[in-house]
């Protein structure tokens, strides 16, 4: 057994602290894409353009038409633990924004070259901030923000070595956009890779008021068709159920849409894409009766619940959440799917497709 030499405790330098923290949040280009998308949506963007070069390693540039930042906010935005989204523990207990940790931009700045160009509605010009030099200069831009991330992991070659091929990294970036696009039919998304337009989903009519529920449903179905393929709409049924303060809606694939891999299962809690075992388990149990053997269901499920009933602060990337009462959520999801899938039960399950 090697015994490490006794060494005195030292406090780590700030830059290393940031790089260690960044390791938790920024694993690959898609992590950057996810964080920038969250920020754009939190800023109220309705139109988001993403340009990538070399799978996002050379360049990730995300342009939004959100509310933008003035000089003070721009400077603060790249500092660790600086956020406009929460102020107190009380706010943290019922977060309604995608972000709240105030860490993403700081983390990105510690592992890549980061530049921000932003303009608010009140400003007469945009401002460009170079995170490395801290220099601020006038720039030209409409209201909104452009975040440019270059040479990801240039200073951390160990991380860089873990990256896969450009095509694979691009595929992960595209997956991050799909996850966001499914949840926000009211927002337009466009993605370029190496100068080539890869995907474009236009903003769709959006209505939250109850009397406009059909519009919201139509837009959601259209976006789901765009992102999952028109075929999926044909081979899926709408889900919409509410019980005990939990609403579950979306679309559930019929047995004919099932796949050999569980790679098309999208679940959201209050608009946030999550991988959460209560929902996953409820879905699996609901499908047990309609799917054969190893077939995996396809679904897009949105769970809406009082934010105070969910703890989103359990994972640095927020992909996991914890419910105060998991049983209620489990039952709501199970019942929602049982109701939606009831007609499929009467039919013999189809093993052929997918
Ligand atoms: P968080 O999103 O957790 O607050 P970030 O590091 O991602 O932390 O962003 C820090 C702050 O910078 C945000 O709270 C927000 O005020 C501001 N910000 C980041 N991106 C944008 C954007 N695209 N548009 C407007 N403001 C932004
Ligand atoms: Mg953020």
ipTM score here? 0.99
Give mean pLDDT, residues 28-55: 98
Tell me whether residue 73 is in a domain.
yes
Q: Looking at the structure, do residues 301 and 165 belong to the same domain, yes or no?
A: no
Residue 353 has pLDDT above 50, yes or no: no
Q: Give one DSSP letter per residue of 79-144, joined into a string.
A: STT--SS--SHHHHTT--SS--SS-HHHHHHHHSEEEEEEE-SS-SSEEEEETTT--EEEE---SE
In this predicted structure, what is the pLDDT of residue 346? 67
Indicate if 188 and 302 belong to the same structural domain: no
Do 337 and 286 contact (CB within 8 A), yes or no? yes
**pLDDT band at residue 209 using 50, 70 and 90 as cut-offs:** low
220 found inside a domain: no
Residue that is written with structure tokens 């409820």 in the block: 282
Based on the fold, state whether residues 21 and 144 are members of the same structural domain.
yes
Question: Can you tell me whether residue 254 is helix, strand or coil?
Answer: coil
Assigned domain for 30 exists? yes
Q: What is the pLDDT of residues 102-143, one digit of tens each?
A: 999 999 999 999 999 999 999 999 999 999 999 999 999 999
Tokens of 94: 């019922």
Q: How far is the CA of 24 from the centre of ligand 2 (A)?
A: 14
- Mean pLDDT of the residues in the chain: 93
Structural tokens at position 275: 């991988």
The reply to whether 263 falls in a domain is yes
Q: pLDDT per residue over 293-310, tens digit each?
A: 889 999 999 999 999 999
- Strands 272-274 and 310-311, by their bridges, are unpaired
How is residue 301 written in tokens?
């499920």
Mutate to test the pocket of ligand 1, among 83, 87, 101, 107 (most ligand atoms within 8 A of CB): 83
Is 9 among the domain residues?
Answer: no
Residue 221: inside a domain: no
Q: Are residues 20 and 154 in the same domain?
A: yes
Cα of 139 from ligand 2 centre, angstroms? 23
DSSP 143-161: SEEEEEEESTTTT-HHHHH
Question: What is the total residue count of the chain?
Answer: 354
Q: What is the domain range of residue 124?
A: 14-201
Across 40-47, average pLDDT: 98
CB 233 within 8 A of CB 320: no
**Residue list, ligand 1 pocket, CB within 6 Å:** 35, 39-40, 43, 64, 66-69, 73, 77, 83-85, 99-106, 145
- Give phi and psi for 67, each to the nearest 5: -75, -10
Mean pLDDT of 37-53: 98
Q: Is the pLDDT of residue 38 over 90?
A: yes
Region 334-347: mean pLDDT is 88
> Does 253 lie in the same domain as 131?
no
Predicted TM-score of the model (pTM)? 0.94
Q: Taking the CB of residue 137, how many other CB atoms lie within 10 A of it? A: 10
What mean pLDDT comes out for the span 28-52? Answer: 98
Residue 217, pLDDT score: 86
Minimal-distance CA residue to ligand 1 atom 14: 83
pLDDT tens digits, 245-256: 999 999 999 999
Average pLDDT of span 87-101: 93
**pLDDT at 134 (0 to 100):** 97
**CA–centroid distance, residue 106 to ligand 2 (Å):** 10
Ligand 1 pocket: which of 105, 143, 148 to mutate (most atoms within 8 A of CB): 105
Cβ atoms of residues 118 and 26 within 8 Å? no
Q: What is the pLDDT of residue 205?
A: 86
Atom of ligand 1 nearest to the CA of 35: 7
Q: Is the pLDDT of residue 146 over 60?
A: yes
Token pair of 194 as six digits:
């190496």
Percent of the chain residues past pLDDT 70, beyond the cut: 96
Q: Nearest 5 degrees, angle CA 22-CA 15-CA 100?
A: 40
pLDDT at 222 over 80: yes
Region 305-320 average pLDDT: 93
- 272-274 β-sheet, strand order: 236-243, 246-253, 299-304, 265-269, 272-274
Q: What is the pLDDT of residue 287?
A: 96
Task: Please give the distance, rounded to the nearest whole angstrom, from the Cα atom of residue 257 to the centre of ligand 1.
Answer: 38
> 116 with 245, same domain?
no
């Amino acid at each position: 057994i090697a015994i490490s030499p006794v060494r005195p405790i030292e406090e780590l330098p700030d830059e290393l602290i940031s790089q260690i923290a960044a390791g938790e949040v920024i694993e690959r280009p898609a992590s950057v894409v996810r964080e920038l998308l969250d920020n754009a949506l939190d800023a109220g963007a309705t139109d988001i353009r993403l340009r990538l070069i070399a799978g996002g390693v050379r360049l990730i540039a995300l342009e939004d038409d959100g509310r933008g930042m003035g000089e003070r906010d721009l400077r603060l935005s790249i500092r660790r633990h600086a956020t406009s989204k929460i102020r107190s523990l009380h706010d943290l207990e019922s977060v309604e924004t995608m972000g709240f940790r105030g860490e993403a931009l700081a983390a990105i700045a510690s592992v890549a070259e980061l530049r921000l160009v932003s303009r608010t509605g009140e400003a007469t010009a945009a401002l460009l901030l170079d995170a490395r030099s801290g220099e601020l200069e006038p720039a030209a831009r409409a209201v909104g923000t452009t975040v440019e991330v270059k040479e990801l992991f240039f200073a951390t070659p160990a991380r860089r070595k873990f990256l896969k091929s450009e095509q694979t990294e691009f595929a992960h970036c595209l997956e991050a956009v799909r996850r966001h696009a499914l949840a926000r039919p009211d927002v337009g998304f466009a993605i370029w890779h190496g100068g080539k337009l890869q995907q474009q989903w236009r903003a769709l009519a959006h209505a939250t008021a109850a009397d406009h529920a059909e519009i919201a449903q139509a837009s959601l179905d259209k976006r789901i068709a765009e992102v999952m393929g028109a075929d999926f709409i044909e081979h899926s049924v709408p889900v919409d159920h509410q019980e005990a303060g939990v609403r579950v809606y979306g679309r559930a694939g019929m047995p004919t849409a099932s796949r050999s891999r569980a790679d098309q299962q999208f679940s959201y809690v209050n608009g946030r894409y999550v991988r959460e075992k209560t929902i996953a388990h409820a879905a699996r149990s609901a499908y047990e009766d309609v799917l054969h053997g190893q077939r995996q269901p396809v679904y897009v499920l949105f769970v809406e619940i009082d934010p105070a009933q969910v703890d989103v602060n359990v994972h640095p990337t927020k992909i996991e959440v914890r419910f105060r009462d998991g049983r209620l959520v489990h039952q709501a999801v199970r019942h929602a799917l049982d109701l939606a899938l009831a007609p499929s039960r009467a039919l013999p399950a189809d093993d052929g497709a997918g």
